[in-house]
Amino acid sequence: MKDKQTLDNADKNLPTLNYAVALQKIAASQGFDWNNVKNVIVKIHEELDEVTSELGVENNHARLVDEIGDLLFACTNLARHLNVDPEQALQHGNQKFYRRFSAIENHIQSEKASFDDYSLEQLDSIWNLIKQQESNALK
């Protein structure tokens, strides 16, 4: 019979991002952790480079899933090091995206147009304008 592993103490019923944090905290308690945020950021860049190296390779969906999983895990590690709840941060990011995309949609509707009438560059320009307006409203 297999001995219980240290990481088995993490609650598998947690949301996925929080489960990643639980795994990382347990590993950190055993001394397996980056000693500063800069090293975590270097790891994120390394993982992003690995995703990039898989782009354009045929029949590599499984590799992309693997590498993007590593990238997300590393980003979750950054959140942990900065005492940010990754679930809360992603919820905030989702809400911000929803708000800004809806503002683009409202803009297009006010022009009696459709998304098809705009290039990606034009849509991105509207996005940046909305982003700037939100930033100015916070000042």
Output the pLDDT for position 2. 73
Which residue segments constitute the domains of the chain, with CATH numbers given? 1-84 (1.10.287.1080), 85-139 (no CATH)
Distance CA(42)–CA(77), nearest Å, equals 12
Q: In degrees rounded to 5, what are phi and psi of residue 99? A: -60, -45
Q: What is the average per-residue pLDDT within 100-114?
A: 96
Give CA–CA dist 80/78, Å, rounded.
Answer: 5
Q: Which amino acid is at 57?
A: V
Name the band, by pLDDT with cuts 50, 70 and 90, for residue 121: very high
Sorting pLDDT into bands at 50, 70 and 90, what band is 1?
low
pLDDT tens digit string along 44-81? 999 999 999 999 899 999 999 999 999 999 999 999 99
